[in-house]
Amino acid sequence: MHPVRKQRLIIVGSVVVFSSIAIGLAAYALRGNINLFYPPVDVMAGLAPVDRPIRVGGMVVDGSVERSSETLEVRFLVTDYEAVVPVVYVGILPDLFAEGEGAVAAGTLNADGVLQATEVLAKHDENYMPPEVADALEASARRKQEASL
């Protein structure tokens, strides 16, 4: 390779490397702001601000969803399996919102540590399968559980 081109190759390489390092450091410094939501364990540890809009994300605890019989109010618990945050929301939940599935609630934490949500989003996982396969998996899991009992 021609020495001039070799020199240009080195310059091009260092432009890519150094700009990547610079942006990587910036992203690392801003990592708290890039996260879309706080996990419940951070909320419990007091890392999430109170009286300021935040998002809390995690799994909706099985059996925790309580719907009011008169209004659209819904109460549920969000967990990351280390801590639990109670959420109160008045409004219509997305179709995919379900117990045992992921959800992200936006709102403010009150003094009691309850998130007064103004928006609830459903978070789905990376599994895609036809309903028959899901049924078959569930049935085999049930069989395995029965066998172990």
Q: Which is nearer to another protein, 82 or 135 (CB)?
A: 135
Residues in region 30-69 near another protein by CB under 8 A: 31, 34-39, 57
Residue 105, token pair as written in the block: 């609630």
Residues in region 116-145 near another protein by CB under 8 A: 119-135
* DSSP category for residue 106: E
Q: Determine the Cα–Cα distance for residues 57 and 103; give it in Å rounded to an integer.
A: 6
Q: Determine the Cα–Cα distance for residues 99 and 78; give it in Å rounded to an integer.
A: 10
Residue 77, token pair as written in the block: 């618990």
Write each residue from 75 to 94 as x if it is in contact with another protein (CB under 8 A), else as -, in one continuous string.
------------------xx
Query: φ, ψ for residue 129 (rounded to 5)?
Result: -160, 155
Stretch that binds another protein, among 12-20, 45-53, 110-118, 139-147 (CB under 8 A): 12-20
Min. distance of Cβ 149 from another protein in angstroms? 26
* Residue of the chain from 60, 104, 109, 117 that contacts another protein (CB under 8 A): 104
Q: Which of 40, 98, 108 is nearest to 67 (CA)?
A: 98
Q: Which is nearer to another protein, 128 or 145 (CB)?
A: 128
Burial class (CB in 10 A: 0-12, 13-18, 19+), 128: exposed
CB proximity list for 45: less than 8 A, separation 6 or greater: 83
Q: Which is nearer to another protein, 50 or 96 (CB)?
A: 96
Q: Which residues bind another protein (CB under 8 A)?
A: 5, 8-9, 11-12, 15-16, 19-20, 23-24, 27, 31, 34-39, 57, 93-97, 101, 104, 119-135
